[in-house]
Structure 1
Amino acid sequence: MTTTSLTTEIGTSIPENLARLIGADITFGRLAAWTRLTEEQVANTYNVSRSPVREAIRLLERDGLIARSSRRGIWVAPLSLKDFDGVYACRIALEALAAEQAARSPHAASTRPAFDRLLTRLRTTLANGDTVGFFEADVEGSEIIYDLADNPTLRRLLLSLEKQALRYRYFAYQHSAEVTALSVNATRDIYARICEGDHARARALTETLIKDIWQSTREVLADFFSEKMP
Protein backbone atom coordinates (compact mmCIF):
# COMPACT_ATOMS: atom_id res chain seq x y z
CA MET A 1 0.00 0.00 0.00
CA THR A 2 1.27 3.47 -0.82
CA THR A 3 2.61 5.40 2.16
CA THR A 4 2.50 8.87 0.60
CA SER A 5 0.24 11.42 2.23
CA LEU A 6 -2.62 12.15 -0.14
CA THR A 7 -4.34 14.89 1.82
CA THR A 8 -3.72 17.52 -0.87
CA GLU A 9 -5.16 15.26 -3.56
CA ILE A 10 -8.38 14.51 -1.75
CA GLY A 11 -8.90 18.05 -0.51
CA THR A 12 -11.55 17.93 2.18
CA SER A 13 -11.33 14.11 2.39
CA ILE A 14 -14.66 13.47 0.64
CA PRO A 15 -15.34 9.71 0.76
CA GLU A 16 -15.88 9.49 -3.00
CA ASN A 17 -12.42 10.92 -3.67
CA LEU A 18 -10.83 8.62 -1.11
CA ALA A 19 -12.59 5.68 -2.75
CA ARG A 20 -11.23 6.83 -6.13
CA LEU A 21 -7.67 6.87 -4.80
CA ILE A 22 -7.95 3.46 -3.15
CA GLY A 23 -9.65 2.12 -6.28
CA ALA A 24 -6.73 3.32 -8.41
CA ASP A 25 -4.29 1.55 -6.08
CA ILE A 26 -6.31 -1.65 -6.52
CA THR A 27 -6.61 -1.27 -10.30
CA PHE A 28 -2.87 -0.72 -10.76
CA GLY A 29 -1.92 -3.52 -8.39
CA ARG A 30 -0.45 -1.34 -5.69
CA LEU A 31 -3.00 -2.96 -3.39
CA ALA A 32 -2.87 -6.66 -4.22
CA ALA A 33 -5.83 -9.03 -4.18
CA TRP A 34 -6.57 -10.50 -0.75
CA THR A 35 -4.75 -7.66 1.04
CA ARG A 36 -6.37 -7.21 4.46
CA LEU A 37 -7.52 -3.70 5.31
CA THR A 38 -8.63 -1.97 8.49
CA GLU A 39 -10.21 1.44 8.88
CA GLU A 40 -7.30 2.58 11.03
CA GLN A 41 -4.72 1.37 8.51
CA VAL A 42 -6.46 3.09 5.60
CA ALA A 43 -6.91 6.32 7.58
CA ASN A 44 -3.21 6.41 8.49
CA THR A 45 -2.02 5.54 4.98
CA TYR A 46 -4.11 8.17 3.23
CA ASN A 47 -3.83 10.70 6.06
CA VAL A 48 -7.56 11.10 6.70
CA SER A 49 -9.91 10.60 9.62
CA ARG A 50 -11.74 7.31 10.04
CA SER A 51 -15.16 8.78 9.28
CA PRO A 52 -14.73 9.07 5.47
CA VAL A 53 -12.92 5.72 5.44
CA ARG A 54 -16.08 3.85 6.41
CA GLU A 55 -18.04 5.40 3.55
CA ALA A 56 -15.18 4.93 1.07
CA ILE A 57 -14.98 1.24 1.94
CA ARG A 58 -18.73 0.92 1.48
CA LEU A 59 -18.45 2.49 -1.98
CA LEU A 60 -15.59 0.19 -2.95
CA GLU A 61 -17.55 -2.81 -1.71
CA ARG A 62 -20.47 -1.71 -3.89
CA ASP A 63 -18.10 -1.48 -6.87
CA GLY A 64 -16.79 -5.00 -6.28
CA LEU A 65 -13.23 -3.94 -5.40
CA ILE A 66 -13.44 -4.71 -1.69
CA ALA A 67 -15.06 -7.62 0.12
CA ARG A 68 -15.92 -8.08 3.77
CA SER A 69 -17.39 -10.57 6.20
CA SER A 70 -18.14 -10.48 9.90
CA ARG A 71 -15.47 -13.10 10.63
CA ARG A 72 -12.70 -12.21 8.17
CA GLY A 73 -12.97 -8.43 8.16
CA ILE A 74 -12.18 -6.38 5.03
CA TRP A 75 -9.89 -7.28 2.14
CA VAL A 76 -9.17 -6.42 -1.50
CA ALA A 77 -11.46 -8.54 -3.65
CA PRO A 78 -9.64 -11.10 -5.81
CA LEU A 79 -9.83 -11.33 -9.57
CA SER A 80 -11.92 -14.25 -10.77
CA LEU A 81 -12.99 -15.77 -14.06
CA LYS A 82 -16.63 -15.63 -12.97
CA ASP A 83 -16.54 -11.90 -12.29
CA PHE A 84 -14.51 -11.27 -15.43
CA ASP A 85 -17.04 -13.15 -17.57
CA GLY A 86 -19.90 -11.22 -16.01
CA VAL A 87 -18.26 -7.85 -16.59
CA TYR A 88 -17.34 -8.55 -20.20
CA ALA A 89 -20.68 -10.09 -21.11
CA CYS A 90 -22.23 -6.75 -20.14
CA ARG A 91 -19.47 -4.63 -21.69
CA ILE A 92 -20.04 -6.07 -25.17
CA ALA A 93 -23.55 -4.70 -25.45
CA LEU A 94 -22.96 -1.44 -23.60
CA GLU A 95 -19.69 -0.43 -25.30
CA ALA A 96 -21.09 -1.35 -28.72
CA LEU A 97 -24.17 0.79 -28.09
CA ALA A 98 -21.96 3.69 -26.97
CA ALA A 99 -19.91 3.47 -30.18
CA GLU A 100 -23.06 3.37 -32.30
CA GLN A 101 -24.60 6.38 -30.59
CA ALA A 102 -21.29 8.26 -30.72
CA ALA A 103 -21.18 7.76 -34.48
CA ARG A 104 -24.69 9.19 -34.73
CA SER A 105 -23.62 12.36 -32.92
CA PRO A 106 -23.54 15.57 -35.00
CA HIS A 107 -20.20 16.30 -33.32
CA ALA A 108 -18.55 13.00 -34.28
CA ALA A 109 -16.46 14.35 -37.16
CA SER A 110 -15.03 17.15 -35.03
CA THR A 111 -13.42 14.65 -32.63
CA ARG A 112 -11.02 13.32 -35.28
CA PRO A 113 -8.06 15.45 -34.07
CA ALA A 114 -8.57 14.22 -30.48
CA PHE A 115 -8.77 10.61 -31.66
CA ASP A 116 -5.64 11.08 -33.79
CA ARG A 117 -3.73 12.38 -30.77
CA LEU A 118 -4.88 9.42 -28.70
CA LEU A 119 -3.82 6.96 -31.40
CA THR A 120 -0.37 8.53 -31.41
CA ARG A 121 -0.21 8.13 -27.62
CA LEU A 122 -1.39 4.52 -27.86
CA ARG A 123 1.28 3.66 -30.43
CA THR A 124 4.02 5.50 -28.53
CA THR A 125 3.22 4.00 -25.14
CA LEU A 126 2.89 0.54 -26.70
CA ALA A 127 6.31 0.89 -28.34
CA ASN A 128 7.83 2.11 -25.06
CA GLY A 129 6.25 -0.65 -22.97
CA ASP A 130 4.40 1.98 -20.92
CA THR A 131 1.39 -0.02 -19.78
CA VAL A 132 0.02 2.68 -17.51
CA GLY A 133 0.29 5.33 -20.23
CA PHE A 134 -1.36 3.00 -22.75
CA PHE A 135 -4.18 2.25 -20.33
CA GLU A 136 -4.78 5.92 -19.56
CA ALA A 137 -4.91 6.87 -23.25
CA ASP A 138 -7.30 4.02 -23.99
CA VAL A 139 -9.61 5.00 -21.13
CA GLU A 140 -9.54 8.62 -22.29
CA GLY A 141 -10.72 7.45 -25.71
CA SER A 142 -13.62 5.62 -24.11
CA GLU A 143 -14.61 8.79 -22.28
CA ILE A 144 -14.73 10.72 -25.56
CA ILE A 145 -17.00 8.05 -27.01
CA TYR A 146 -19.29 8.16 -23.96
CA ASP A 147 -19.50 11.95 -24.20
CA LEU A 148 -20.37 11.77 -27.88
CA ALA A 149 -23.04 9.15 -27.20
CA ASP A 150 -24.70 11.66 -24.85
CA ASN A 151 -26.87 9.03 -23.21
CA PRO A 152 -27.07 9.54 -19.42
CA THR A 153 -28.70 6.15 -18.81
CA LEU A 154 -26.05 4.35 -20.82
CA ARG A 155 -23.29 6.22 -18.98
CA ARG A 156 -24.80 5.23 -15.61
CA LEU A 157 -24.80 1.58 -16.67
CA LEU A 158 -21.20 1.81 -17.86
CA LEU A 159 -20.17 3.53 -14.63
CA SER A 160 -21.73 0.69 -12.64
CA LEU A 161 -19.25 -1.66 -14.35
CA GLU A 162 -16.38 0.78 -14.55
CA LYS A 163 -14.33 -0.10 -11.49
CA GLN A 164 -14.22 -3.83 -12.11
CA ALA A 165 -13.94 -3.38 -15.87
CA LEU A 166 -10.93 -1.06 -15.52
CA ARG A 167 -9.21 -3.50 -13.19
CA TYR A 168 -9.53 -6.35 -15.68
CA ARG A 169 -8.69 -4.04 -18.56
CA TYR A 170 -5.40 -3.02 -16.95
CA PHE A 171 -4.63 -6.65 -16.11
CA ALA A 172 -5.09 -7.54 -19.78
CA TYR A 173 -2.76 -4.78 -20.98
CA GLN A 174 -0.20 -5.62 -18.30
CA HIS A 175 -0.04 -9.34 -19.05
CA SER A 176 -0.73 -9.68 -22.76
CA ALA A 177 1.12 -7.98 -25.61
CA GLU A 178 -1.42 -9.60 -27.94
CA VAL A 179 -4.28 -7.71 -26.29
CA THR A 180 -2.54 -4.32 -26.48
CA ALA A 181 -1.64 -4.76 -30.16
CA LEU A 182 -5.16 -5.93 -30.91
CA SER A 183 -6.61 -2.94 -29.08
CA VAL A 184 -4.55 -0.38 -31.03
CA ASN A 185 -5.49 -1.72 -34.46
CA ALA A 186 -9.18 -2.18 -33.68
CA THR A 187 -9.45 1.15 -31.86
CA ARG A 188 -8.03 2.95 -34.89
CA ASP A 189 -10.80 1.48 -37.04
CA ILE A 190 -13.51 2.22 -34.47
CA TYR A 191 -12.43 5.86 -34.17
CA ALA A 192 -12.49 6.18 -37.97
CA ARG A 193 -15.98 4.75 -38.28
CA ILE A 194 -17.27 7.02 -35.53
CA CYS A 195 -15.84 10.11 -37.21
CA GLU A 196 -17.38 9.02 -40.52
CA GLY A 197 -20.77 8.53 -38.90
CA ASP A 198 -20.83 4.84 -39.84
CA HIS A 199 -22.81 3.81 -36.76
CA ALA A 200 -23.48 0.21 -37.83
CA ARG A 201 -19.80 -0.50 -38.49
CA ALA A 202 -18.71 1.30 -35.32
CA ARG A 203 -21.02 -0.92 -33.31
CA ALA A 204 -19.94 -4.14 -35.05
CA LEU A 205 -16.23 -3.38 -34.70
CA THR A 206 -16.65 -2.59 -31.01
CA GLU A 207 -18.53 -5.82 -30.38
CA THR A 208 -15.77 -7.77 -32.11
CA LEU A 209 -13.02 -5.98 -30.18
CA ILE A 210 -14.59 -6.58 -26.77
CA LYS A 211 -15.25 -10.24 -27.62
CA ASP A 212 -11.66 -10.72 -28.81
CA ILE A 213 -10.23 -9.04 -25.70
CA TRP A 214 -12.56 -11.13 -23.55
CA GLN A 215 -11.29 -14.36 -25.07
CA SER A 216 -7.60 -13.39 -25.07
CA THR A 217 -7.68 -12.05 -21.53
CA ARG A 218 -9.62 -15.06 -20.28
CA GLU A 219 -6.80 -17.31 -21.43
CA VAL A 220 -4.27 -15.10 -19.65
CA LEU A 221 -6.36 -15.13 -16.48
CA ALA A 222 -6.73 -18.90 -16.60
CA ASP A 223 -2.96 -19.29 -16.91
CA PHE A 224 -2.43 -16.75 -14.13
CA PHE A 225 -4.72 -18.64 -11.75
CA SER A 226 -3.18 -22.01 -12.62
CA GLU A 227 0.28 -20.65 -11.78
CA LYS A 228 -1.00 -19.46 -8.40
CA MET A 229 -2.31 -22.91 -7.49
CA PRO A 230 -0.05 -25.00 -5.23
Structure 2
Amino acid sequence: MDMTFSHKLSAGIAGNLVAVLEEAIVFLELAPSERLTEEDVAERYGVSRSPAREALRSLENDGLVLREARKGIWVTPMSLRDFDDIYRCRIALEAIAAEQAARSTNGALKEQLWHVLDDMKRAREAGNARLFFQHDVRGSQLIYEIADNPTLRRLLKGLEKQALRYRYHLYRNDRSVVDLSFDDTARVFRAIVDGEAAQAYTLEHDLIEKIWRETRDAIRAEFGEGR
Protein backbone atom coordinates (compact mmCIF):
# COMPACT_ATOMS: atom_id res chain seq x y z
CA MET A 1 0.00 0.00 0.00
CA ASP A 2 2.94 2.35 0.53
CA MET A 3 4.51 1.78 -2.87
CA THR A 4 4.92 4.93 -4.95
CA PHE A 5 5.16 5.37 -8.69
CA SER A 6 8.95 5.65 -8.61
CA HIS A 7 9.38 2.18 -7.06
CA LYS A 8 10.23 -0.84 -9.17
CA LEU A 9 8.29 -4.07 -8.83
CA SER A 10 10.09 -7.25 -7.91
CA ALA A 11 9.59 -10.21 -10.21
CA GLY A 12 7.08 -11.71 -7.78
CA ILE A 13 4.92 -8.59 -7.77
CA ALA A 14 4.89 -7.92 -11.50
CA GLY A 15 1.59 -9.74 -11.91
CA ASN A 16 -0.01 -7.31 -9.47
CA LEU A 17 0.83 -4.24 -11.52
CA VAL A 18 -2.84 -3.32 -11.92
CA ALA A 19 -3.39 -3.38 -8.15
CA VAL A 20 -0.23 -1.35 -7.51
CA LEU A 21 -1.26 1.29 -10.04
CA GLU A 22 -4.80 1.37 -8.64
CA GLU A 23 -3.42 2.08 -5.17
CA ALA A 24 -1.15 4.81 -6.51
CA ILE A 25 -4.18 6.45 -8.15
CA VAL A 26 -6.45 6.06 -5.11
CA PHE A 27 -3.84 7.50 -2.75
CA LEU A 28 -3.20 10.35 -5.21
CA GLU A 29 0.43 9.34 -5.68
CA LEU A 30 -0.47 9.40 -9.36
CA ALA A 31 -2.17 12.77 -9.58
CA PRO A 32 -5.42 13.45 -11.43
CA SER A 33 -4.68 14.29 -15.08
CA GLU A 34 -1.09 12.99 -14.79
CA ARG A 35 0.21 11.71 -18.12
CA LEU A 36 1.11 8.00 -18.36
CA THR A 37 2.88 6.01 -21.05
CA GLU A 38 3.49 2.31 -21.45
CA GLU A 39 7.21 2.98 -21.64
CA ASP A 40 7.32 4.99 -18.41
CA VAL A 41 5.22 2.47 -16.47
CA ALA A 42 7.34 -0.42 -17.75
CA GLU A 43 10.61 1.30 -16.90
CA ARG A 44 9.64 2.58 -13.47
CA TYR A 45 8.12 -0.70 -12.33
CA GLY A 46 10.73 -2.93 -13.91
CA VAL A 47 8.37 -4.87 -16.20
CA SER A 48 8.10 -5.31 -19.95
CA ARG A 49 5.75 -3.20 -22.05
CA SER A 50 3.25 -6.04 -22.42
CA PRO A 51 2.08 -6.13 -18.74
CA ALA A 52 2.26 -2.33 -18.67
CA ARG A 53 -0.06 -2.18 -21.69
CA GLU A 54 -2.48 -4.69 -20.16
CA ALA A 55 -2.49 -2.87 -16.82
CA LEU A 56 -3.30 0.46 -18.45
CA ARG A 57 -6.07 -1.17 -20.48
CA SER A 58 -7.57 -2.62 -17.29
CA LEU A 59 -7.42 0.77 -15.57
CA GLU A 60 -9.11 2.32 -18.58
CA ASN A 61 -11.94 -0.23 -18.35
CA ASP A 62 -12.42 0.74 -14.69
CA GLY A 63 -12.48 4.44 -15.51
CA LEU A 64 -9.29 5.24 -13.61
CA VAL A 65 -7.37 6.35 -16.70
CA LEU A 66 -8.46 7.90 -19.97
CA ARG A 67 -7.06 7.21 -23.42
CA GLU A 68 -7.52 9.32 -26.53
CA ALA A 69 -6.12 8.59 -29.97
CA ARG A 70 -2.99 10.61 -30.77
CA LYS A 71 -3.17 12.30 -27.37
CA GLY A 72 -2.13 9.50 -25.04
CA ILE A 73 -3.16 8.19 -21.63
CA TRP A 74 -3.64 10.09 -18.40
CA VAL A 75 -5.09 9.58 -14.94
CA THR A 76 -8.79 10.41 -14.97
CA PRO A 77 -9.32 13.98 -13.72
CA MET A 78 -11.25 14.67 -10.53
CA SER A 79 -13.97 17.31 -10.51
CA LEU A 80 -17.13 18.42 -8.77
CA ARG A 81 -19.26 17.02 -11.58
CA ASP A 82 -17.60 13.62 -11.27
CA PHE A 83 -17.92 13.74 -7.48
CA ASP A 84 -21.63 14.56 -7.76
CA ASP A 85 -22.28 11.74 -10.23
CA ILE A 86 -20.48 9.19 -8.07
CA TYR A 87 -22.03 10.22 -4.77
CA ARG A 88 -25.58 10.31 -6.11
CA CYS A 89 -25.10 6.67 -7.06
CA ARG A 90 -23.36 5.80 -3.80
CA ILE A 91 -26.19 7.21 -1.70
CA ALA A 92 -28.69 4.84 -3.25
CA LEU A 93 -26.57 1.71 -3.59
CA GLU A 94 -24.80 1.86 -0.22
CA ALA A 95 -28.13 2.37 1.55
CA ILE A 96 -29.56 -0.72 -0.15
CA ALA A 97 -26.47 -2.70 0.85
CA ALA A 98 -26.85 -1.67 4.50
CA GLU A 99 -30.54 -2.57 4.46
CA GLN A 100 -29.92 -6.00 2.97
CA ALA A 101 -27.01 -6.62 5.35
CA ALA A 102 -29.34 -5.92 8.28
CA ARG A 103 -31.77 -8.53 6.94
CA SER A 104 -29.00 -11.14 6.82
CA THR A 105 -28.92 -13.91 9.41
CA ASN A 106 -25.14 -14.29 9.15
CA GLY A 107 -24.32 -13.35 12.72
CA ALA A 108 -20.67 -14.34 12.48
CA LEU A 109 -20.00 -11.88 9.67
CA LYS A 110 -21.99 -9.17 11.42
CA GLU A 111 -19.83 -9.50 14.53
CA GLN A 112 -16.77 -8.72 12.41
CA LEU A 113 -18.12 -5.20 11.98
CA TRP A 114 -17.15 -4.45 15.58
CA HIS A 115 -13.54 -5.45 14.89
CA VAL A 116 -13.50 -3.06 11.94
CA LEU A 117 -14.94 -0.30 14.12
CA ASP A 118 -12.24 -0.88 16.75
CA ASP A 119 -9.57 -0.55 14.05
CA MET A 120 -11.20 2.64 12.76
CA LYS A 121 -11.24 4.04 16.29
CA ARG A 122 -7.52 3.38 16.81
CA ALA A 123 -6.62 4.95 13.46
CA ARG A 124 -8.78 7.97 14.25
CA GLU A 125 -7.18 8.43 17.66
CA ALA A 126 -3.74 8.15 16.08
CA GLY A 127 -4.64 10.80 13.50
CA ASN A 128 -3.79 8.35 10.70
CA ALA A 129 -6.20 9.27 7.90
CA ARG A 130 -4.78 6.72 5.48
CA LEU A 131 -5.22 3.84 7.90
CA PHE A 132 -8.68 5.07 8.89
CA PHE A 133 -9.63 5.11 5.21
CA GLN A 134 -8.39 1.55 4.71
CA HIS A 135 -10.41 0.24 7.65
CA ASP A 136 -13.47 2.21 6.54
CA VAL A 137 -13.26 0.67 3.08
CA ARG A 138 -12.91 -2.76 4.69
CA GLY A 139 -16.11 -2.05 6.60
CA SER A 140 -17.93 -1.17 3.39
CA GLN A 141 -16.73 -4.35 1.73
CA LEU A 142 -17.84 -6.39 4.72
CA ILE A 143 -21.33 -4.89 4.46
CA TYR A 144 -21.43 -5.92 0.79
CA GLU A 145 -20.42 -9.44 1.78
CA ILE A 146 -23.07 -9.63 4.50
CA ALA A 147 -25.74 -8.32 2.10
CA ASP A 148 -24.94 -11.28 -0.17
CA ASN A 149 -26.42 -9.74 -3.31
CA PRO A 150 -24.12 -10.54 -6.27
CA THR A 151 -25.73 -7.99 -8.59
CA LEU A 152 -25.52 -5.20 -6.03
CA ARG A 153 -21.96 -6.15 -5.17
CA ARG A 154 -20.96 -6.04 -8.83
CA LEU A 155 -22.46 -2.56 -9.23
CA LEU A 156 -20.77 -1.32 -6.07
CA LYS A 157 -17.42 -2.80 -7.07
CA GLY A 158 -17.44 -0.81 -10.29
CA LEU A 159 -18.50 2.37 -8.53
CA GLU A 160 -16.11 1.89 -5.62
CA LYS A 161 -13.01 2.31 -7.74
CA GLN A 162 -14.30 5.67 -8.91
CA ALA A 163 -15.25 6.75 -5.39
CA LEU A 164 -12.14 5.76 -3.45
CA ARG A 165 -10.02 8.73 -4.53
CA TYR A 166 -12.64 11.14 -3.26
CA ARG A 167 -13.10 9.25 0.02
CA TYR A 168 -9.37 9.26 0.70
CA HIS A 169 -8.98 12.91 -0.28
CA LEU A 170 -11.75 13.94 2.12
CA TYR A 171 -10.36 11.93 5.04
CA ARG A 172 -6.84 13.21 4.43
CA ASN A 173 -7.84 16.86 4.23
CA ASP A 174 -10.74 17.25 6.66
CA ARG A 175 -10.68 15.73 10.16
CA SER A 176 -14.37 16.58 10.61
CA VAL A 177 -15.22 14.10 7.84
CA VAL A 178 -13.29 11.39 9.71
CA ASP A 179 -15.21 12.19 12.89
CA LEU A 180 -18.57 12.24 11.12
CA SER A 181 -17.83 9.00 9.31
CA PHE A 182 -16.76 7.21 12.48
CA ASP A 183 -19.70 8.29 14.61
CA ASP A 184 -22.35 7.56 12.00
CA THR A 185 -20.70 4.34 10.83
CA ALA A 186 -20.97 3.06 14.41
CA ARG A 187 -24.72 3.70 14.24
CA VAL A 188 -24.99 1.95 10.87
CA PHE A 189 -23.12 -1.08 12.20
CA ARG A 190 -25.38 -1.24 15.26
CA ALA A 191 -28.50 -1.18 13.08
CA ILE A 192 -27.09 -3.95 10.86
CA VAL A 193 -26.14 -6.17 13.79
CA ASP A 194 -29.54 -5.61 15.43
CA GLY A 195 -31.36 -6.46 12.19
CA GLU A 196 -32.98 -3.02 11.91
CA ALA A 197 -33.19 -2.91 8.12
CA ALA A 198 -35.13 0.34 7.70
CA GLN A 199 -32.90 2.14 10.19
CA ALA A 200 -29.73 0.81 8.54
CA TYR A 201 -30.97 2.07 5.17
CA THR A 202 -31.78 5.54 6.52
CA LEU A 203 -28.56 5.93 8.50
CA GLU A 204 -26.32 4.89 5.60
CA HIS A 205 -28.26 7.02 3.13
CA ASP A 206 -28.07 10.08 5.38
CA LEU A 207 -24.37 9.59 6.20
CA ILE A 208 -23.23 9.54 2.59
CA GLU A 209 -25.59 12.33 1.58
CA LYS A 210 -24.37 14.53 4.44
CA ILE A 211 -20.70 13.99 3.54
CA TRP A 212 -21.50 14.71 -0.10
CA ARG A 213 -23.39 17.95 0.58
CA GLU A 214 -20.95 19.26 3.19
CA THR A 215 -17.83 18.71 1.08
CA ARG A 216 -18.95 19.84 -2.37
CA ASP A 217 -17.44 23.30 -1.96
CA ALA A 218 -14.08 21.83 -0.95
CA ILE A 219 -14.09 19.49 -3.95
CA ARG A 220 -14.97 22.39 -6.27
CA ALA A 221 -12.17 24.51 -4.83
CA GLU A 222 -9.61 21.72 -5.17
CA PHE A 223 -10.53 20.20 -8.53
CA GLY A 224 -12.87 22.61 -10.32
CA GLU A 225 -16.34 22.15 -11.75
CA GLY A 226 -15.41 19.72 -14.51
CA ARG A 227 -17.02 19.47 -17.91
TM-score, normalised on structure 1?
Answer: 0.90
Matched, 1:222 2:213: no
Q: Which stretch of the first structure deviates more once superposed, 168-177 or 64-73?
A: 64-73
Does the aligned pair in 1 maintain the 2:78–2:223 contact within 8 Å?
no
Q: State the match for 2:166 in structure 1.
A: 168
Q: State the match for 1:140 in structure 2.
A: 138
Q: State the match for 2:123 in structure 1.
A: 125
Does the aligned pair in 2 maintain the 1:66–1:74 contact within 8 Å?
yes
| Mapped partners of 2:192, 2:75: distance in 1 | 37
Q: State the match for 1:50 in structure 2.
A: 49
**Among residues 190, 194, 198, which one is paired with 1:196 in the alignment?**
194
Q: State the match for 1:96 in structure 2.
A: 95
Task: Tell me: CA distance 1:184–1:8, structure 2 relative to 1, closer, same or farther (3 Å).
Answer: farther
| Mapped partners of 1:119, 1:148: distance in 2 | 16
Q: Name the % identity.
A: 48
Write out per-residue CA displacement over residues 121-165 of structure 1, whole angstroms, 9 at most, x where no aligned residue: 212211222111000100111111111111110011001112111
Task: Tell me: CA distance 1:117–1:48, structure 2 relative to 1, closer, same or farther (3 Å).
Answer: same
Please state whether the residue corresponding to 1:74 is helix, strand or coil: strand
Please state whether the residue corresponding to 2:67 is helix, strand or coil: strand
Does the aligned pair in 1 maintain the 2:56–2:65 contact within 8 Å?
yes
Q: State the match for 2:82 in structure 1.
A: 83
Does the aligned pair in 1 maintain the 2:79–2:220 contact within 8 Å?
no
Please state whether the residue corresponding to 1:126 is helix, strand or coil: helix
Cα RMSD of the aligned pairs, angstroms, is 1.6
| Mapped partners of 1:68, 1:25: distance in 2 | 18
| Mapped partners of 2:99, 2:87: distance in 1 | 18
Please state whether the residue corresponding to 1:75 is helix, strand or coil: strand
Aligned length: 221
The alpha carbon displacement at 1:112 in A equals 4.9
Q: State the match for 1:10 in structure 2.
A: 13
| Mapped partners of 1:102, 1:124: distance in 2 | 25
TM-score, normalised on structure 2?
Answer: 0.92
- The runs of 5 or more residues in structure 1 that have no matched partner are none
Amino acid in structure 2 at the alignment position of 1:125: A
| Mapped partners of 2:40, 2:68: distance in 1 | 18
Give the ranges of 4+ consecutive aligned residues of structure 1 lying more than 6 Å apart after TM superposition: none
| Mapped partners of 1:112, 1:59: distance in 2 | 33
- The runs of 5 or more residues in structure 2 that have no matched partner are none
Q: State the match for 1:71 in structure 2.
A: 70
